[in-house]
A and B are shown apart, each in its own frame.
Chain A
Amino acid sequence: MSVKIEASEGGRPHNEILGFGLIGSLVCIYLTYLNVLTGTEIFSFFGGLGAVIALAWGSDTIKHLCSYGLGTGVPSAGMIAFGSGVIAMLFATKFGIAAPVAALVIAALLGAVIGYVSDKVVSMNIPVMVISLIELAIVGALTMMGLAAMAGGSFMFADLVAGSTTVFGIEIASYGSSVIGGSVLAVIFILGSIAVQHPFNACLGPGEQQDRTLMLAAECGFLSMIGVAVISFAFIGFGSAVVALLVSIIGWAYTYMEYIKLSRRDAYDWLDAKPIHEPKGGA
């Protein structure tokens, strides 16, 4: 069995972040349903906010999992989260209004199977493996659903495969111009899988602090939202896409500034154009 190494002391307990992440992201993804109720597309950006919350939870799970000495395994944890998440998310979109909850259940089942195989069959013997991979699969599924809802305005399969293209000024239905048919899901997949692994991968080391890592997770989420907001111009109305873009840029700018402040707090020194400072008794 691997020995557990504490990455950082203190901070909020993981279960608290799990609860907040799970409920927060589900509520935000459901808020995009206001689009259907009110007949607009203005609420699409809530999907992105749901993804930000899920990514923060996911990065804390990766930290929890990788504290068992998986240094180089941090980026692969992001890949397995979204690899299992994308299957659950696509399957769940067929469940209509119940899609976010269905994504949660299917992802949990998938994560349990993958976790069991890695822990017992591949014999990695990490005590938190099964529960962490369940969490990561849910994070992957909810993040993809949130960002897909942000791009397309809906989390339902029928809307995600419906698109239209203009040929000589006449609008015709075209599968190739939809969120799924245009492979926007491929962009969302790689955006999310890099965003979920980056916070802990970038902040790991003996001086890692939970608040700084989580702030970076939120920053990565908002940065991914900017890309998805620009893509959403192809699917939702101009005004709604502008609102989504503004929310993303404001969120990103705030979290980026806060992250720089936290890095300045934790850094040994903050120097501008100064020579190498050789430590006393160093090499």
Chain B
Amino acid sequence: MENLVLGIGITALAGALATVAGAAEDTESDIGSQGDPNSQVQLAPQMGYIHRIYNKAVSGEPPAYGLWCALGAGIAWALMSIQINAVLAIVLGSAIAVFVQGVYATTAYLGRTASLAKFEQPVYIDIIKSVTTVTMAHAFVAIFTTVAMCQLMIVALGHPFPLPLLALVWGIALGAAGSATGNPFYGKERQYQEQKFGAGVPISASGNIVRYAEAGQRSSLDNGWFASKLGGPASGICFGLIVFLELWRTVLFEQIGAGWGAIIAGVVLILVFMVIDRYIETWARKTYGPYVAETEEAAS
């Protein structure tokens, strides 16, 4: 019974860490324009829209976060094996991983922008100075919480995987959660605020991203403010739920039927979420209906 209570406590703590990780991850990737919104940032100068938005083309978010978390965990694991305190080891590991992340971010911005010289897109060196540090700070929060969560799973819940491998798996899951949940807020909404609501992005509007702000010119830091309001918390809830439910079903049902209990509970959870998703989808379609083009409205 005591084990069960401890297990549930660790599950809740890991879920909380994952929520913070998800929120920080999405805010970081939106400030840097990583993932699918990056394609429009990359396209804009080719369509004649010169901008001052960061272009952090490292790779998709899942492999990139797989690297940052696995590297942070690998270094933390190595430092722990030479008898350095676990908390200090995870902080040092995350710090070195964030250094690598920052270097990758600057080389991606410089490389992509220099290759766009033909379209008269200049390199704005002040963007590197101001934005890179902000993405690094958010990435540190995401990496530290993810590695700490993995360490909790191993030490308190007895997970059989070594720390670096577990962090690689959860890092990929973190990147996938942020990419799938948070990016639409930035890529489909924030970049196209000038388009009519619900109009989608027609080919003619491709690359016509918002470049000017309420006052002055839009900076990627403004996108951080926007992401921390909507996309970030949504990604946090998504990743937090994934981690919480994953551990919850294992802790509660693993003893039933030699492990089969946890597998059946997982399948039931997936089915429950499929029903919820389907309900939300049909509800949204009924409530908002298909998009009606303006010409049709005028005709009717």
* A is bound by B: yes
The chain A residues found within 8 Å of chain B, CB to CB, are 74-75, 78-79, 165-166, 176-177, 181-184, 186-187, 190-191, 193-194, 197-199, 201-208, 212-213, 216, 219-220, 223, 226-227, 230-234, 256, 259-260, 262-264, 266-279, 282-283
Complex Cα–Cα for A267 and B50 (A)? 14
Interface 0/1 of B131-149, CB less than 8 Å to A: 0000000000000000000
**A259/B123 in contact, CB under 8 A:** no
Task: Give the residue name and chain of the A residue nearest to B217 (CB).
Answer: A276
Contacts of A74 in B (CB 8 A): 59
User: Is B48 on the interface with A (CB-CB < 8 A)?
Assistant: yes
**B161: min CB distance to chain A, Å:** 7
**A277/B50 in contact, CB under 8 A:** yes
Contacts of A234 in B (CB 8 A): 77-79, 81-82
Question: Using a Cβ–Cβ cut-off of 8 Å, how many residues does chain B contribute to the interface with A?
Answer: 60
Given A216-B111, A271-B126, A277-B50, 5 further pairs, Cβ under 8 A: A183-B161, A263-B113, A264-B114, A270-B123, A283-B208
**B48/A198 in contact, CB under 8 A:** no
**B86: min CB distance to chain A, Å:** 14
Which of B66-74, B227-235, B252-260 touches A?
Answer: B66-74
**B114/A272 in contact, CB under 8 A:** no
**B111/A206 in contact, CB under 8 A:** no
**B117/A227 in contact, CB under 8 A:** no
Contacts of B116 in A (CB 8 A): 205-207, 268
User: Is B60 on the interface with A (CB-CB < 8 A)?
Assistant: yes
**A34: min CB distance to chain B, Å:** 23
Contacts A227-B74, A268-B121 given; indicate if A206 touches B115 (C-beta within 8 A).
Answer: yes
Task: Give the residue name and chain of the B residue nearest to A252 (CB).
Answer: B103
**A230/B96 in contact, CB under 8 A:** yes
Contacts of B73 in A (CB 8 A): 187
Complex Cα–Cα for A268 and B71 (A)? 35
**B60/A75 in contact, CB under 8 A:** yes
**A191/B71 in contact, CB under 8 A:** yes
**A277/B120 in contact, CB under 8 A:** yes
Contacts A201-B57, A226-B96, A271-B123 given; indicate if A190 touches B114 (C-beta within 8 A).
Answer: no
**B67/A277 in contact, CB under 8 A:** no
**B112/A181 in contact, CB under 8 A:** no
Contacts of A190 in B (CB 8 A): 63, 66-67, 70-71, 168
Contacts A230-B96, A267-B122, A275-B217 given; indicate if A198 touches B164 (C-beta within 8 A).
Answer: no
User: Is B283 on the interface with A (CB-CB < 8 A)?
Assistant: no
Contacts of B50 in A (CB 8 A): 276-279, 282
Contacts of A270 in B (CB 8 A): 122-123, 125
Contacts of A220 in B (CB 8 A): 104, 107
Contacts A207-B117, A269-B122, A273-B126 given; indicate if A182 touches B57 (C-beta within 8 A).
Answer: no
**B132: min CB distance to chain A, Å:** 13
**A203/B164 in contact, CB under 8 A:** no
Q: Mind listing 17 A-B residue pairs with CB under 8 Å?
A: A75-B63, A177-B81, A183-B165, A187-B70, A187-B73, A190-B67, A202-B108, A202-B110, A203-B112, A207-B117, A216-B111, A223-B104, A231-B75, A231-B77, A268-B122, A270-B123, A283-B47
**A227/B96 in contact, CB under 8 A:** yes
User: Is B190 on the interface with A (CB-CB < 8 A)?
Assistant: no
